[in-house]
Amino acid sequence: MVLNIVQVGVFMDNRECIIRATVSLINEKGDDIDEITVRDICKRAGVGLGL
């Protein structure tokens, strides 16, 4: 699959949002990181679950 510049830029933006959301949730949950779900991360990041 070949990605054009626009697709790569969107992918990187979403990836960064997911990383930041994950770090934020880990900081909030502390020792309870087992409670963090993919749904929580996607909701916080503002991206679709299927991404």
Distance CA 44, CA 4 (A): 27
Residues 6+ apart with CB under 8 A from 35: 29
Contact 39, 51 (CB under 8 A): no
pTM > 0.75: no
pLDDT per residue over 4-49, tens digit each?
A: 444 455 566 889 999 999 999 999 998 889 999 999 999 999 999 9
Both tokens of 51, joined, read 């991404």
